Structures are given as C-alpha cells and as structure tokens.
A and B are shown apart, each in its own frame.
Chain A
Amino acid sequence: MRPLLALALGLVVLGSVQAYMSFVNGLPKYQSVLPVEAQASGQFRLELTLSQDAQPDAFEAISLLVTLPRQGDRMIIRSEEVISCADPIVIDSLAGFVAGDNELFIQVGVGDVGFGEAASGPVVLKPAAIRIQLFRDHEILVQETLWGAPGEPIQGKVVIRVPEIPQQDKASDHEH
C-alpha cells in the first residue's frame, strides 16, 4: 500500500513539474522591439577604382565582393571574373542605405602570385588598393582607400554615416 502511495505522490510531483513547465512555455514570448531604421533618402551612386585588375586566385574564386553587412549581408556585387582596372566600376541607384551608420564590406582578389617556370628573379609582392567613393544626389558622401597587404587580397569595411536630409531641404529640392 505504502509503495503505491509513494508512486502516486511521485506522479503528483512529476505532474506538477510538467504543469508548471507547460505554463511557463505557454507565456507570451518577450519580443525585443528594435528601432526600425528609416531608408535614407536620395539617389546613391558607388564608384570603385582599382589599382590593379581584380581577379580570383587559386585559394578563392571571388574577384570582387561588395556587401552591406548591417543589412543582412545584402549583396551589391559578387564576381568571379577578371575585372579590368582601366575604368572605375560604377553602380547607380544603389539601394539599401539607412539614415545613420552603414557599413560597406569590400573584398578584392589580386590573382595568383608565384615564380612560375620562367622565373628570372625574386617575386615582387605589391600591395593593391581600391578607392571607394559614395555619392548622394551627385554630392560626395564618402571617399576612402583600402589597401591590402603585399600579394594578398584587399579586405575591409568602410563605415558610412548617412545624414538624413532635413524636410525643408527635401521640399526646396522638389520646388527646383
């Protein structure tokens, strides 16, 4: 009789724990309220100028990668082709910037480095660079140059603060 009573009480204890857990799990989940970032107004244009051709190497297939890390790594450019440095790369009507702080991640491959079979002297490892210019409505917002270590791809982030255009300026722009 007593063992049965102990078992019954054990079941009551377990049941209570189960009921408590169900109650806790059933409570409405706490949801953090993140501030909604306002899309920055204006027309954005990105210009990238390379010091040498962007090209993949044996270790990574990417020649040029540009993303917006704060916007869920939104892709702007991803290329595995050789990109000539003769002309700047221009991206018009670039979307995704928010009023406030933004980040641009940039990676540029510099191709294979090595002696090769026709080597005649030491291999010169040159650092490569990329100039980043961001315009809003034809006015320059950011101008920065990123450098890579000699022989290595360029990798870096550019922080871009996009100020919101005051309402009256927007209105006067429309009047023009």
Chain B
Amino acid sequence: MTLMKFASRVVLASWALILLVAMPTAQGQGQQQEKRLIVCSTTQVADFARQVVGDRWRVACVLAAGQDPHLYEVKTGDAKLVAQADLCLENGWHLEGNDWMRKLAKDAGKPIFSCLEGVTPLKLTEEGADVLDPHAWFSPKNAAVYVANIEKAVSGLDRDHAAEYQARATLYRAQLRTLHLWIVRECNRLPLKQRRLVTSHDAFNYFCREYGFTAASPAGWSTGQEAGGGVTPQRRRAAVESIRKFGVKSIFVETSVNPKLIRQIAADAGVQIGGQLYSDSMGEAGSAGESYLGMMRENVLTIVQGLK
C-alpha cells in the first residue's frame, strides 16, 4: 500500500469517528426543533396566531380561504389534524356552526381557547332569542383582544418564549391601531347619511358600530339555521325597503357566501353591486385579502368607493 492510500484511510477513519461522535447531538437538536402545533378554526384566528408565534410554532387552519364557518361540515382529516395539536383556538360564540371546533378539540382531548374572551359583545335579539354576535374581528379594537388572548394562551404553554410572544403581539397591536386610524380617515370621506351597509348576511355589525354605519342584510347573523340565522322573507323585504328608503348606491356580496341572493336584491331594488367583501373568511394565499390587515383594507376601500 502506498503512503497516499494509507493517508486517505487515516482521513476517512477520522471523518467516520467525527460523524459517529456528532450524530447523537444532531439527532437531539432535531428533536428539540420539533415545533408545537396550533390548530385554528378560522382564517382570521390563524392569521392572528401567526402574528404572535412567528416561526416558533406551526399554525394550521381547519377552514380554507373562502369557506363559511357557519355551514362547515367537519371532515376526517380535521380530526387527525386536531389530534396532533398542542393548542386549539376558536373564534367562539357559535361562529363555528354547532360548535364544531370545540367538539373536535374535546374529542381529541386538546386544550381549546376562545379568542372572544374579554370582547364586549353586541347582543342581537332575533326571533325572541338573544344571540351574541360572533363577528367581533371586524373591529380592529376587538382584533387586539383576540391577539392578547392568543398571546396569553401560547405564553401559558411556553413560558420560556413569553417575552418573544409579547414583543410580536405589541408590534401587531400597533399595526392594528394604524389600521383603525386609517379606516377612521377613509370613512370620514363618507357623509353619515350615506353610511348604509347592505351585505349578504349580518356580519358587519361591529364594523358598523365602530365606524358609524347602519347595517342591513337579508340574512341574519348566521348563514345557517340557528335562531336568528338564515334568510326570511321579512328580512329580505326589509333590506330592499331600506335600500330604496335611504337611496343606497351599492350593496355588497361576501366572499364566503353565495352571491345569488344579493344579486336578486340588487335587481329588485335597482342598485348596483359595489363589490365583494371578505367576511367570515380571508382571501386565498396571494390575494390582497390573504391577511387580516389586507382584508380589512380592501373591504374599506370597496365600501367607501361603492357608497360615495
């Protein structure tokens, strides 16, 4: 054997030893880097969760962009996803029709938090029943409460990184304030008497309360058949009358609701469709409404332009 061959064997043996010594450490690091999983019911909640946890956790969402949480039917894959979760987050107040997210978490024995904890509710009295309107995220002030609740939930499970979650949440709340003040400025361009918002279903009450609008819609707070939900002839008639009485220029369809009914009402009342609003679900990845800030921005621009 030549000297070269011998030297190469020495180098090879050294590398083999180094690998042998280093391998268990690398495996250990791999295990440490296994990220925890948050499973969220709606796209808005998932976006808020991502803003708080960054890349520290994996965030998954049961609903896809454009899906209606009121009517969603749970699939086998959802139960499997929730079974892997370290934490489940729901909107709450029955936005998830028949509380499907809470049931999924309960069946899998996973902790679940409602993001609405601490929000001042809008009470709706529909067909003699009191209902808490669950569409609270349409006010950025309430979105700040969602973020605070998520921060509390993840910090409770991962105290080591609580300062990091707090830093992200503080930054995001500052962005929510900027969004809120921008909406105030945009809405200032519309005279109060023109602020009549007619949409597919009663999802925009918090937005309307915050920015001085009056809401009207042919369907109640839910697109499903819960008390106060769904389309009734009386609601449909009232929506058409309201459009005519107040000279509403445009009415709006929602991304997560079938637009057929609103199109019929627009034809009956002789008004135009002002555009499509992101409502119970955010937009597809790559669209302007793929984030909460983006969906609110696009909605406000569409509303102000349509009602001017």
Chain A residues in contact with chain B, CB under 8 A?
2-3, 6-7, 9-11, 13-14, 57-60, 112-117, 119-123, 125, 150-152
Contact = CB atoms under 8 A, between A and B. Distances in A.
Contacts of B9: 2-3, 6
B10 A6 contact: yes
A119 B174 contact: no
What's the dominant secondary structure at chain A's contact region?
Answer: loop
A3 B188 CA distance: 84
B58 interface: no
Given A9-B10, A151-B184, 16 more contacts: A2-B6, A3-B9, A10-B10, A10-B13, A13-B14, A57-B177, A58-B145, A60-B173, A113-B180, A113-B184, A114-B211, A115-B187, A115-B211, A119-B192, A122-B188, A123-B188
B3 interface: no
Interface centre among A13, A14, A59 (most CB of B within 10 A): A59
A3 B210 CA distance: 80
Interface in B166-214: 170, 173-174, 176-178, 180-181, 184-185, 187-188, 192, 209-212
Contacts of B185: 125
B211 A7 contact: no
B181 A59 contact: no
A119 B18 contact: no
A108 B170 CA distance: 15
B14 A14 contact: yes
Interface in B224-249: none
Interface string B1-21: 100001001101110111001
B141 A59 contact: yes
Interface of B: 1, 6, 9-10, 12-14, 16-18, 21, 140-141, 144-145, 170, 173-174, 176-178, 180-181, 184-185, 187-188, 192, 209-212
B184 A9 contact: no
Nearest to B142: A58
A59 B170 CA distance: 8
Contact of A2 (B1, B144, B145, B187): B1
A14 B184 contact: no
A171 to B, nearest CB: 48
Sorted from nearest, which 7 A-B pairs have the closest CB atoms?
A: A115-B212, A10-B13, A58-B141, A119-B212, A10-B14, A59-B177, A122-B188
